[in-house]
Amino acid sequence: MTNILAKAFKKAAKLSQNLQDEIGEQLLEDIEGEIKWNETLDKSHDKLGKLAEKASEDFKSGRTKKMGFDEL
């Protein structure tokens, strides 16, 4: 465990049980989200690489158009 996480747990331990439970639930949700996000990225790594290569080729060959977010 990192020093920062240990410090956060130490501070959280001083809070009421209800607040500790809320923080714990939020933390668990965040951890699950991170795990799912990492799994998604791992599964799509090859596909993202191919899309990046195609985008680079399109840019180099002049098949792209500069646009702002509001123009998409």
Whole-number pLDDT of residue 71: 83
Q: pLDDT-derived band of residue 20, with 50, 70 and 90 as boundaries?
A: very high
Whole-number pLDDT of residue 21: 98
Burial class (CB in 10 A: 0-12, 13-18, 19+), 62: exposed
Q: How many angstroms separate the CA atoms of 58 and 65, rounded?
A: 10
Average of per-residue pLDDT across 27-51: 92
Question: Does residue 55 surpass a pLDDT of 90?
Answer: yes
Residue with tokens 């991170």: 34
Kindly report whether the global pTM for this prediction surpasses the value 0.85.
no
Within a 10 A sphere around the Cβ of 8, how many other Cβ atoms? 14
